[in-house]
Amino acid sequence: MTDTPKLTKRLSVAASYARSGAFLADIGTDHAYIPIYLFKKGKIRGAVASDINEGPLMRARANLLRYKADGGITLNLSNGLDGIEKFSPDDILILGMGGELICDIISRAEFTKNKNIRLILQPMTHPEILRSFLSENGYSITDEAIIEEDKIYQVMVATYTGESCSLSPMELLFGRLNLSQGGEALVSLLKHHREILEARQRGRQSATANADNPYEDLLLSEINKKLTDLTKEI
């Protein structure tokens, strides 16, 4: 029997952004692997593992008992961040949900507008919608990563500063920091989106109706340009 759960690369990268000594809120916890892992490793002082559904919380409870972590982690049944403020979390994880749902959860929780709270987010879809929401609502993205395992995932870290900014279409989709950091996972993600956009472009070209999409065409040419630049660097 192992004394901590084994984290996938996606969960491991997200967990690495939790601060030492933090009290963690894991929203949509399901298995509760990250709170258990970080608590058992002594990195966090405690956590609330929260979910909207009973089934995932039963899984979380079984894991707390299995890994003997029930002393430091409280289970909570609620929608998003409802009722979480009373735990005064330092770091909030919202992983494995759609980008729009993550936006909705944050927008309903005014208490996250606090420069001491760190949001660690991993949207399964629409990272561009999440980045647009964050940047327009005063949350600064302070760190981000692209993780390639069974799929390609993006993790972003944000804190409320009150300063809004506007991101380009490339920055919304791939992340300003990711684009400046480069790397193989970025190349894979760019290629993935190039394939999608090329297929859509072919579909438009074969359609009889005029279905121009200058936005997607421009994005595709910027992706190609970035891929050329990155290939030169390698």
Ligand X SMILES: C[S@@+](CC[C@H](N)C(=O)[O-])C[C@H]1O[C@@H](n2cnc3c(N)ncnc32)[C@H](O)[C@@H]1O
For the bound state, the minimum distance from the C-beta of residue 50 to ligand X, rounded and expressed in Å, comes to 6
Q: What is the DSSP letter of 168?
A: -
Q: Can you tell me the distance from the alpha carbon of 81 to that of 109, in angstroms, rounded to the nearest whole number?
A: 6
Q: What is the DSSP letter of 80?
A: T
**Continuous segment of H or E residues that includes residue 155:** strand 152-160
22 vs 7, 45, 48, CA distance in Å? Answer: 19, 6, 11
Q: Point out which span in 26-34, 107-115, 187-195, 217-225 binds ligand X (CB under 6 A).
A: 26-34
Question: Could you say whether residue 27 binds ligand X (CB under 6 A)?
Answer: yes
User: Hey, which residues between 158 and 187 contact ligand X (CB under 6 A)?
Assistant: none
For the bound state, the minimum distance from the C-beta of residue 76 to ligand X, rounded and expressed in Å, comes to 9
Q: Can you tell me the distance from the alpha carbon of 204 to that of 75, in angstroms, rounded to the nearest whole number?
A: 49
Q: What is the DSSP letter of 52?
A: S
For the bound state, the minimum distance from the C-beta of residue 28 to ligand X, rounded and expressed in Å, comes to 3
Q: Point out which span in 48-56, 84-92, 110-118, 219-227 binds ligand X (CB under 6 A).
A: 48-56
131 vs 31, 68, 126, 203, CA distance in Å? Answer: 26, 37, 9, 28
* Count of residues that bind ligand X according to CB under 6 A: 14
- Could you give the 3-state DSSP secondary structure of residue 83? coil
For the bound state, the minimum distance from the C-beta of residue 58 to ligand X, rounded and expressed in Å, comes to 11
| Binder of ligand X out of 5, 35, 72, 80 (CB under 6 A) | 80
Contact string 84-123 vs ligand X (x = CB under 6 A): -----------xxx-------x------------------
Residues that bind ligand X (CB under 6 A): 27-30, 51-53, 56, 79-80, 95-97, 105
